[in-house]
Amino acid sequence: MKINALQIITLVYFFIWSLSASAQQTQSIKKDNVQLKFRLDDQGSPRYSVLFKDRDVIKESQLGFSIDTDSSFYKDFHLVSVEQRQADGTWQPVWGEEKNIRNNYEELTIHLKHKNGKLLTIIFRAFADGLGFKYEFPKQSSLKYFVVKEELTEFNLAGDHTAFWIPGDFDSNEYRYTTGKLSAIDNRPVVAAATDIAVKTVPDPFAVQTPLMMKSADGLYINIHEAALLNYPAMQLHVNKTNYQLSARLVPDTYNNKAYLHAPAQTPWRTVLVSDKAADILASRTILNLNEPSKAENTSWIKPMKFVGVWWEYQTGKSTWSYSDYADSTDSKKQLIPNGRHGANTANVNRYIDFAAANGMQGVLVEGWNTGWEDWFGNWKENVFDFVTPYPDFDVNAITSYAKQKGISMIMHNETSGSATNYERQLDTAFRFMNQFGYPSVKTGYVGKIIPRGEYHDGQWMVNHYERVLQKGMQHRVTIDAHEPPRPTGLHRTYPNFMASEAGRGNEYNAFSTGSAPEHETILPFTRLMGGPMDYTPGIFKLRNYADGAPGRQMHSTLAKQLALYVTIYSPVQMVADLPENYEAKPDAFQFIKDVAVDWDDTKIIEAEPGDYITIARKEKQKPNWFIGAVTDEHSRTATVPLNFLDKNLVYIATIYRDATDANWKNNPEAYTIETFRVDASNLLKIKLAEGGGAAISIRPINMSDDLKKIRKYK
């Protein structure tokens, strides 16, 4: 399937002006309710503003740079020319939330010339749900190689909005969210409290990460992020708490340089999504649209899947990644002495393969299979893992053969412990190993301080590293699920083998720390997920008394909510994260996980309010089945789901997995009720969600000749 060929963009009109005499004239484009204005001010400084239904979203704000050869590359410009065009088209993602994605925008291109002769181009695209803009440094004689010392982009907000934020950390996105006014942002207590995060680098107390979700007092939902982060550092935002001005802060290297560029070059797109309906933010495909089309010529090897894994038993302390307890624990032949609790042993792995095969899962992930785990973390050690040497109790040949026999895809695990130089040295060898043993997919990990020392997880060098791994995956037909990378920016459009990433606070924090608040999953889709799928690892069924040696620990969720997450937290690769025995204890609830799809023809955001609730319905790819997930925060509420998206000519069976009447996340999380109804497009479902609860619904059409009458009609 050639994806690129399917994107048909219609160019409607195209202007070029020579405008040297009209520098201060305001240029403007508008798409539906979204308007962009641009002008050069009296200093020759480029400035833009954004309106939604004529209300200020971004008040006039600065654009520009400080570069190594010119610290004032933000003023003294004049306008060379302006182009305007309109585009409309539809493209089909390799996998995704919809079968078709419409890309419809007005574009304004501003060609500027600095008084010192250097050229700068700014391209704006207005969409119905927001704005994207990027800078281009054209090929030119007066600017070849240069260093971005700082990007001076600003976002002047119109008020003291409520923000859903995490600290602007160069190395981690794994914080709890804080909800509060812009004027109250101070990340220091948050950082200090985050003792569960391994590596933290937060030099600016008033910097926050993007995607930054906000809500204005008058009901506007605003989301600031970026698209197509390539060869550039991640952008974070410094908050001026008195005037609500946000300033770009790029993740630096050790020299406080931000990006080493070679013209022609460009920045990622800066995105401002806006609507008066929160659901529109979740439904936006603007970030994806601002990414380049797929580079994959053949995509038959890229397969969404559900998978189980030898993993949660490590997180909960039942078994260990490592084979011995200490690297020094060796016998007289210098062989490691086994601790007897190593999870990735052949028998246990085969047990997971059996479970996956018996329950229609496609994959099995195994962590802790390769040597080095005795001594892998916290020492800034360069050569930790070699990615090809199994522990003695992990029989890679036998496991490969057994998995093949059972039709299961094994998922490789490459933990780098942050040592990217070591991984890059081994990359060819590691990917050849995957090809040799038929591993179609790899989960990468970057837990630890980065090597090269002096670089950060989210700086330009590492951004390029992650892209190199994606490219290597394309060459070797290996899909990637990256843990601890920068938060995504829609690159899975360009690299459809980039199935998912962590880059946020996953379900695992409930295993090894005090976890996340019940509202966490109502914020994630508005923040972390804006740029791409998250490997959140939902589906925990044993919600209390799972953590070895920590009896007080519990999930901040009901069981029904764990099911709902398969729909509300989008990913084409979904882990079925709990232990097989915990699913086997509740086969009726497990049926939803067995049934739920991971790839979709359509998605409807039914209800959404950041921090409060989200209800989403999705139609299974190339099938008539629908799946609905509803989640709430710490408050009980009723999810209301009109089924008008169903085919009016069909009758369906809906299976509703909901919180039991007396369920709540804190005291009775595992109580659930399963009900089956006959439904059609005229129905309106009303489902009670417990405190910290949720609901999951599967809907499939039935043939009227079946014993339909046995099934109750809903309501």
> Can you give the binding site for a copy of itself, defined by CB under 8 A?
139, 144-145, 253-255, 257, 260, 262, 328, 379-382, 421, 424-425, 427-428, 452-455, 461, 464, 468
Rounded Cα distance between 45 and 24, Å, is 10
Taking the complex as a whole, how short is the minimal distance between the CB of residue 670 and a copy of itself, in angstroms?
A: 43
Residue 465 to residue 423: CA distance in whole angstroms: 10
Report the alpha-carbon distance of residue 225 to residue 236 in Å, rounded. Answer: 9
Minimum Å distance from CB 455 to a copy of itself? 7
CB of 170 to a copy of itself, least distance (A): 14
Contact 117, 131 (CB under 8 A): no
**Phi, psi of 419, rounded to the nearest 5 degrees:** -90, 85
Q: CB 123 → a copy of itself: shortest distance, Å? A: 23
Query: Phi, psi at residue 104, to the nearest 5°?
Result: -135, 115
CB closer to a copy of itself, 375 vs 602:
375
45 versus 421: smaller Cβ distance to a copy of itself: 421
Q: Amino acid letter at 398?
A: A
As measured in angstroms, the least distance from the Cβ of 458 to a copy of itself is: 16
Residue with tokens 């090929």: 139
Question: Across the strands, what pairs with 162?
Answer: 181, 215
Catalytic residue among 508, 519, 670, 691: 508
Output 461 or 672, the one with its CB closest to a copy of itself: 461
Using left for φ > 0, alpha for ψ between -120 and 50, and beta otherwise, residue 491 falls in alpha
Residues 152 and 135 sit within 8 Å (Cβ to Cβ) = no
Strand 207-208: give its sheet, edge to edge.
27-31, 34-40, 46-52, 55-62, 154-157, 245-250, 235-240, 207-208
Neighbours of 315 (CB within 10 A): 22
Contact 414, 424 (CB under 8 A): no
Q: How far is the CB of 84 from a copy of itself (least distance, A)?
A: 29
Q: What is the DSSP letter of 486?
A: P
Tell me the β-bridge partners of 77.
114
Sign of CA dihedral 444, 447, 451, 453: positive
Smaller CB distance to a copy of itself: residue 260 or 512?
A: 260
C-beta closer to a copy of itself: residue 59 or 118: 118
Closest distance between a copy of itself and the C-beta of residue 454, in Å?
A: 3
Distance in angstroms (rounded) separating the CA atoms of residues 208 and 211: 9
Residue 574, SS3 per DSSP: strand
Beta carbon of residue 330, minimum distance to a copy of itself (angstroms, whole number): 11
Please say which residue, 277 or 425, places its beta carbon nearer to a copy of itself. 425
Q: Give, in order, the Cα–Cα distances in Å from 414 to each of 434, 487, 677.
A: 11, 19, 45
The structure tokens listed for 42 are: 């009296």
What are the two backbone dihedrals, phi and then psi, of residue 473, each rounded to the nearest 5 degrees? -60, -40
Q: Which one, 380 or 512, has the nearer CB to a copy of itself?
A: 380
Dist CA 671 CA 664 (whole Å): 8
The gap between the terminal CA atoms of the chain, to the nearest Å, is 44
Residue 81 or 464 having the CB closest to a copy of itself: 464
Residue 143 token pair: 């600017």
- What number of other Cβ atoms are within 10 A of residue 295's Cβ? 15
- Tokens representing 317? 């302390």
Closest CB to a copy of itself among residues 423, 652: 423
Return the number of the residue (38 or 373) whose C-beta is nearest a copy of itself: 373
CB of 331 to a copy of itself, least distance (A): 16
Q: Residue 249 carries which side chain, given as an amino acid letter?
A: R
Nearest to a copy of itself of 13, 255 (CB atom): 255
The distance of closest approach from Cβ of residue 270 to a copy of itself in the complex, given in angstroms and rounded to an integer, is 25
CA 239 remoteness from chain centre: 23
Tokens found for residue 402: 């057994």
Question: 523 Cβ partners below 8 Å, 6+ apart?
Answer: 164, 177, 179, 213, 610, 611
Nearer to a copy of itself, 292 or 375 (CB): 375
Give the separation between CA 600 and CA 566, rounded to whole angstroms: 12
Work out how close the CB of 67 gets to a copy of itself at its nearest, in angstroms, rounded to a whole number. Answer: 14
Q: How far is the CB of 184 from a copy of itself (least distance, A)?
A: 34
- Cβ count near 88 (within 10 Å): 13
Neighbour count for residue 486 (Cβ, 10 Å) = 27
Q: Count Cα neighbours of 610 within 13 Å in the Cβ-side half-sphere.
A: 33
Residue 615 CB partners (closer than 8 Å, separation 6+):
568, 605, 606, 607, 608, 628, 629, 630, 631, 639, 640, 641
CA distance 423 to 420: 5
**What is the DSSP-derived secondary structure letter of residue 551?**
T
Q: Which is nearer to a copy of itself, 294 or 416 (CB)?
A: 416
Active site residue 508: yes
Q: Could you tell me which residues are beta bridge partners of residue 480?
A: 442, 498
CA-closest candidate to residue 549, choices 379, 316, 254: 316
Residue 139 C-beta: closest distance to a copy of itself, Å: 7
Catalytic residues, by residue number, are 508
